[in-house]
């Protein structure tokens, strides 16, 4: 009674213990209790310290609007005092989100804090890191790159592990374009090393998330599951809604990539609910992107994309968005375009596509460039926009060997770049290039377990072969469709089962009869010619290794051969000449 100072100290001490134990909601309650107990008697320094601690706890508990409001209050008081250290401390709890007004506020606070030379080296490095992150979200990518490099160098010089973590986060975001893949792979390893040194589950979470990003970009889907398991264990210790949302995004993306479409939709909806409850501005975007990709494989009704579109807030709808600003502004228009194409409303699709603006004016963030190009390509192909298809093919060309994914945060996986290049080449009538790229995409998707994309690549490959009609093409197209048909049926890929039926009906009935091999044996011979082992052939065709071995033996007997090299030579000759 009558001793508010001791009450405040006790509440603050308890709040600090709760925060260190990762019990962030309890920490929020206790910091608020400290502020309430000291009402009217706290010094300005004490109030600043408590409010900034509260803002950090609010962010980690998932209350993003509350965190922003609390940090802004402390920052404005420091600004009135012209207190650069106070401004710096406020900046360190302000997290960029992609909302222009908020990210602008972060930049303003950071710039004022960094205006003098009186900040300690570790604090300057951390504020520079926050500044770089906000610059990325504001679209000032060149400046963000320079600031993030300086922040990392300053953190390394200061030898402060907390400053190093902040600087690594800034640098990872600043080099999140597709060409930054190698550097981000190294940054993920450094972040996990820092997590071990600090014993921090929060730091470990970011390191694992970055590694998951790079694994999607390199198509290593089987390793993604291992990292998600490790991330789940990390989040059990962390109890963070932010981390749980990221986990759900990664799990939904992996489910989509591996052909588990119902799981992908379920996980994406769970993530949407969680991020909406947090007040995260990217909530509807994360759901929309997953459902859009699912729609391409299972159709409009099964994906639920049309129903999702009704949830988009008015200020994010394509007619209200300035596509030259922001992080993901073209996606609402592309989503509506896809819906209209699936509904058979070509005129409506063209109107929706026009709302995205000229393709050369788009400014997606570096992390989302691949996603933007990948979502734009089916729209451009569906509408026959030749120049846009050419533009997108040029964008993808430098990234052969990579996969279409985001550079900072899961949500997108659209198969190997060669699949996109093959689609574009086929749409442009460059059939030789299309056949080559789509064949490569089939092999890649078979190898990494991207089952839905393997079906898509096979159907597009068969379509290109049927259009080209070089010697042997029609027989190979029939064999490829046979390999795709059962898998498409198992995965519920209704649009592709329909296309397979139409393609089969258009192929001359006698094509397979010209070969001594069955369509399935022709497919096996083609894979032998590519150097695949029996085990790899089995994985590619979703049969056992023994079944693949039996197919190879039947081919040897039918052709009178004694080894696989002869099959490979025959397969190449079969494709090059008429029987």
Global confidence as pTM? 0.77
Number of other CB atoms surrounding residue 117 within 10 Å: 7
- pLDDT score of 24: 87
Backbone angles phi, psi at 229, to 5 degrees: -65, -45
Backbone angles phi, psi at 413, to 5 degrees: -145, 120
Domain ranges for the chain: 429-576
Give me the average pLDDT of each 10-residue run along the chain (579 residues).
85 92 90 89 86 89 84 85 85 79 85 84 89 87 92 90 92 93 96 93 94 97 95 88 90 96 94 82 79 93 86 70 63 90 92 91 87 95 95 97 92 96 96 96 95 96 93 90 90 92 77 66 87 88 86 84 83 61
Residue 39 CA, distance from chain mean position: 46
Backbone angles phi, psi at 398, to 5 degrees: -70, -10
Please, which residues bridge with residue 405 across strands?
Answer: 413
Q: For residue range 275-313, list pLDDT tens digits in order.
A: 888 777 667 778 888 999 999 999 998 888 888 878 776
Backbone angles phi, psi at 335, to 5 degrees: -65, -45
Contacts of 521 (CB under 8 A, 6+ apart): 479, 551, 554, 555, 558
- pLDDT score of 578: 41
C-alpha to C-alpha distance for 139 and 311, rounded to whole angstroms: 27
Contacts of 402 (CB under 8 A, 6+ apart): 178, 181, 217, 218, 219, 370, 416, 417
User: Coil, strand, or helix at residue 20?
Assistant: helix
C-alpha to C-alpha distance for 443 and 416, rounded to whole angstroms: 10
Reference 264, options 249, 281, 275, 242; nearest CA is 249
- pLDDT score of 320: 61
- pLDDT score of 324: 59
Q: For residue range 221-245, list pLDDT tens digits in order.
A: 999 999 999 999 999 888 778 889 9
């Amino acid at each position: 009674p009558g001793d508010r100072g001791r009450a405040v100290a006790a509440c603050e001490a308890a709040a600090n213990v709760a925060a260190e134990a990762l019990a962030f909601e309890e920490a929020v309650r206790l910091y608020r209790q400290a502020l309430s107990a000291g009402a009217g008697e706290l010094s300005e320094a004490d109030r600043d310290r408590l409010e900034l601690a509260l803002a950090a706890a609010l962010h980690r508990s998932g209350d993003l609007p509350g965190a922003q409001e609390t940090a802004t209050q402390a920052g404005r008081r420091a600004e009135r005092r012209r207190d650069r250290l106070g401004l710096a401390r406020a900046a360190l709890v302000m997290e960029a989100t992609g909302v222009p007004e908020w990210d602008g506020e972060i930049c303003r606070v950071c710039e004022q804090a960094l205006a003098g030379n009186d900040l300690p080296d570790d604090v300057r490095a951390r504020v520079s890191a926050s500044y770089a992150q906000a610059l990325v979200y504001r679209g000032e990518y060149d400046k963000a790159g320079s600031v993030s490099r300086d922040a990392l160098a300053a953190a390394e010089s200061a030898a402060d592990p907390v400053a190093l973590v902040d600087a690594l986060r800034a640098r990872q975001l600043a080099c999140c374009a597709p060409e930054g893949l190698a550097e981000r792979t190294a940054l993920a390893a450094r972040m996990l090393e820092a997590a071990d040194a600090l014993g921090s589950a929060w730091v470990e979470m970011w390191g694992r998330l970055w590694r998951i990003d790079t694994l999607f970009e390199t198509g290593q889907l089987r390793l993604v599951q291992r990292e998600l398991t490790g991330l789940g264990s990390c989040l059990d210790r962390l109890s963070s809604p932010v981390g749980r949302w990221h986990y759900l995004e990664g799990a939904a993306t992996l489910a989509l990539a591996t052909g588990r479409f119902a799981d992908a939709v379920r996980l994406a909806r769970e993530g949407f609910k969680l991020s909406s409850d947090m007040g995260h501005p990217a909530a509807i975007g994360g759901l929309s992107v997953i459902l859009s990709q699912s729609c391409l494989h299972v159709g409009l009704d099964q994906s639920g994309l049309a129903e999702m579109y009704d949830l988009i807030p008015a200020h994010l709808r394509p007619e209200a968005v300035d596509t030259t600003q922001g992080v993901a502004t073209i996606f609402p228009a592309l989503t509506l375009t896809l819906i209209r194409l699936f509904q058979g409303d070509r005129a409506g699709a063209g109107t929706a596509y026009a709302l995205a603006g000229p393709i050369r004016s788009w400014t997606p963030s570096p992390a989302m460039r691949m996603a933007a190009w990948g979502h734009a390509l089916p729209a451009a192909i569906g509408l026959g926009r030749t120049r846009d298809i050419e533009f997108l093919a040029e964008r993808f060309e430098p990234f052969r060997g990579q996969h279409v994914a985001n550079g900072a945060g899961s949500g997108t996986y659209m198969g190997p770049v060669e699949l996109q290049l093959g689609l574009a080449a086929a749409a442009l009538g460059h059939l030789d290039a299309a056949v080559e790229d789509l064949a490569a995409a089939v092999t890649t998707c078979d190898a990494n377990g991207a089952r839905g994309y393997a079906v898509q690549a096979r159907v597009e490959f068969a379509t290109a072969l049927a259009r080209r009609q070089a010697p042997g093409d029609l027989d190979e197209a029939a064999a490829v469709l046979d390999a795709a048909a059962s898998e498409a049926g198992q995965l519920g890929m209704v649009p592709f089962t329909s296309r397979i039926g139409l393609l089969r009906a258009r192929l001359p009935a006698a094509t397979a009869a010209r070969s001594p091999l069955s369509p399935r044996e022709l497919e096996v011979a083609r894979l032998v010619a590519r150097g695949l082992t029996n085990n790899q052939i089995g994985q590619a065709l979703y049969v056992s290794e023994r079944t693949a071995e039996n197919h190879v033996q039947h081919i040897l007997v039918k052709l009178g051969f004694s080894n696989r090299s002869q099959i490979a030579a025959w397969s190449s000759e079969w494709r090059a000449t008429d029987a």
